[in-house]
A and B are shown apart, each in its own frame.
Chain A
Amino acid sequence: MQRLFQALIVMMVVALVSFSLFQFVGDPVNNMLGPEGTIEQREKLREKLGLNDPVPVQFVRYVANAARGDFGLSYRIGKPVDELLAERLPATVELVLVSAVIALALGVPMGVYTGLRRNAWLSRVFLTVSLVGISLPTFVIGILMILVFGVWLGWLPTFGRGGVTDIGGWQTSLLTLKGWSHIIMPAITLALFQLTLIMRLVRAEMLEVLRTDYIKFARARGLRSRSINFGHALKNTLVPVITIMGLQIGSLLAFSIITETVFSWPGMGLLFLQAIQFVDIPVMSSYLVLMALFFVLINLTVDLLYYAVDPRLRVERAGSVAH
């Protein structure tokens, strides 16, 4: 319950920030009409946009509109912002999903392996790779991949999504081989950083867990290594990791901006970037609000997950703790 309240506060704060953007940054009338508008035209526009009303009223109107998904028109393009976002949403979401799957499917096993077999040479290889992985910025990885697979080897396309298929309004590129050939490089680029993070995290957790008393006691009871490693240790390792996973999705969303830039991937990130450069406030603020919503939702989900998985967090029924 407390979390929900906190989430609401965050959303309010973000809404406030977004709104202030509108108020203080640039002049919407100017942006829309350009320098040629006459004074009458400006006044009319001001009335129409409701810019002459007192600030609190404008704020309420803003929030009400936002709740309906109406963010106004983009300064740069002129189309309604929610349409723009809807267009771009599938591209980003698919990219992020594919990357997340790659990062998890590879990162967790690698982490477990390096945690269990600390001295195997493969572990050392993984660790060195992870160190490099953390030091390679996403865009450098992207550029390198473009160079090797796109320019030199010519195996994979280097920009765009390839063809898209429309499923009930959602434009997916995952149903064609061509689509996959377009998404694979950006997805790997995006996943790499997360993969190394996940691997290191899982490894660190695993090592911590293996040092605990209950593992020692399990060994003292003569339990088989397999039960200890995969039954006890793994389960305890994954609990905190699950929550981090949720935050990682958030991270992926943020880093997708970079990946979209490198590969000219037509997603929301690119839109946001262009908005910043152009100071296209409606797009900026709506992206902000959307992102905030995502993050808040993700955090709530993670909290719920944690609660579901760790029995210690469940509320005690009266009288169950006895001496």
Chain B
Amino acid sequence: MTGDTPRRRVLEVEHLKVEFPTRRGNLVAVDDVSFHINEGEVLGVVGESGAGKSLTGAAIIGLLEPPGRVAGGEIRLAGRRIDDLPYERMRRVRGREIGMVFQDPLTSLNPLYTIGRQLVETLQTHGSFSEQAARRRAIELLGEVGIPSPRQRVDQFPHQFSGGMRQRVVIALALCANPRLIIADEPTTALDVSIQAQIITLLKRLCREHDAAVMLITHDMGVIAETADRVAVMYAGRLAEIGAVDDVIRRAKHPYTHGLMGSIPLIGDDTERLTQIEGAMPRLTEIPAGCAFNPRCPKAFERCRVERPELIPADGTAVACWLFDRSPSPGAAADG
């Protein structure tokens, strides 16, 4: 973490809080989450379904669906605050400075318009292209993402493409205005396993070429291991652990992360049983006091049930776990 001057940070999220007012009270879906992404870096955000990953992404790009709203914290893009911008200003940020890729390529594209039209529209919104120039650029982009015969395909409709091809088109659309940050929300989950690798490689290559930072949201650890530089683990709307990908994966510190890594079967592994974590992630309405993971944690002790842990630096990564708290504190000592 040393050597990163704030200037090189593309995205800074500080104490982000997203809540949903319901008649049952305020549901906090993202609770005090802080992280940053540097230029050209890929940050993986992992966690189970419902952990708050997608909502974090939505909050960053300003597309939280009401009644959800940002209830606290700051989001800064290249030093500029973007969480409090009026709609029209934020609209100009979207696409131009932040691009987003969603999970299902079929439903992400308007079935009634040719993909050429959708590309041209996006290009003309963010830049001053003439009709022909935009069309030329669109064909170029299609070539960049690996669509064969782009000149013919540019006039085709989304349903004429296969799933993998469609996701390439989606990536082209997200990148066409050269944003500095790409948020990819489960970009490969809806695709065949054989295509997933291609898409991930493509994404990584393009972002490197365009010099864009990536926030890669997924629940697939394999993708993270392949692609990410750093990884953040989310649980019940909170950050459990964040650090360089090798550190987090091979030397997981948070008991939850540890459990996650242990539950991935590795080829050539001799272990007979996969690690299982007892219980399930709590629903937003039933988050326990103290550390959200404490009921399921094999190493929980008194303090875990009472005080919510902050992110504690430990050996290159940051962990939200009292096990790593070196400072003297009241309450029982940690074991192990």
Residues of A within 8 A of B (CB): 212-214, 216-225, 227, 231-232, 235-236, 239, 309-312, 316, 320-323
Let me know if A221 and B94 touch, CB within 8 A: yes
Which residues of chain B come closer than 8 Å to A221, judged between CB atoms?
94-95, 99, 122, 125, 173-174, 177
Count chain B CB atoms within 10 A of each CB in A217, A309, A312, A320 and give the residue with the most: A217
Among A309, A310, A323: residue with most chain B CB under 10 A: A323
Contact of A213 with B125 in the complex, beta carbons under 8 Å? no
Knowing A221-B125, A312-B157, A320-B160 are in contact, say whether A214-B93 is a contact too (CB < 8 A): no
- A217 and B112 in contact (CB under 8 A), knowing A222-B91, A222-B125? no
Interface residues of B in 87-137 (CB under 8 A from A): 91-96, 99-100, 102, 104, 107-113, 121-122, 125-126
Residues of B within 8 A of A227 (CB): 121, 125
Q: What is the CA–CA distance of A217 and B166 in the complex, to the nearest angstrom?
A: 13
Query: Contacts A217-B170, A220-B100, A232-B110 known; A312 to B162 CB distance under 8 Å?
Result: no
CA A184 – CA B121 in complex, angstroms? 44
With both beta carbons as reference points, the residue of chain B lying nearest to A219 in the complex is identified as: B63
- Residues B94 and A214 in contact, CB atoms below 8 Å apart: no
Contact B94 A219 (CB under 8 A): yes
Residues of A within 8 A of B94 (CB): 219-222
Q: Is the interface of A mostly helix, strand, loop or mixed?
A: helix
Give the distance in Å from the alpha carbon of A236 to the alpha carbon of B126 in the complex: 24
Q: Is the CB of A223 within 8 A of B125?
A: yes
Of residues B93, B160, B170, which shows the largest number of chain A Cβ atoms within 10 Å of its Cβ?
A: B160
Which B-chain residue is minimally distant from A221 (CB atoms)? B95
Closest Cβ neighbor of B91 among chain A residues: A222
> Can you report 30 residue pairs joining A to B where beta carbons are below 8 Å apart?
A212-B107, A213-B107, A213-B108, A214-B107, A214-B108, A214-B110, A214-B111, A216-B102, A217-B173, A219-B63, A219-B94, A220-B63, A220-B94, A221-B94, A221-B173, A222-B92, A222-B96, A222-B125, A223-B95, A224-B91, A224-B125, A227-B125, A235-B113, A236-B110, A310-B111, A310-B112, A312-B111, A320-B156, A321-B161, A322-B148
Contact residues in B for A213 (Cβ distance below 8 Å): 102, 104, 107-108
Whole-angstrom distance between the Cβ of A145 and the nearest chain B Cβ: 40
Chain B: residues with Cβ within 8 Å of the partner, total of 36
Contact B112 A239 (CB under 8 A): yes
Rounded to whole Å, the gap between the CB of B310 and the closest CB of chain A is: 32
| Cβ-defined partner of B95 (8 Å) among A212, A222, A320 | A222
For A232, list chain B residues within 8 Å (CB). 110, 113
Chain A residues within 8 Å of B113, by CB: 232, 235
Chain B residues whose C-beta falls within 8 Å of the C-beta of A310 in the assembled complex: 111-112
- In the complex, chain A residues whose CB is within 8 Å of the CB of B61: 220
Interface centre among A212, A213, A214, A311 (most CB of B within 10 A): A214
A217-B102, A227-B125, A235-B112 known; A322 vs B162 contact (CB < 8 Å): yes
- Chain A CB within 8 A of B207 CB: no
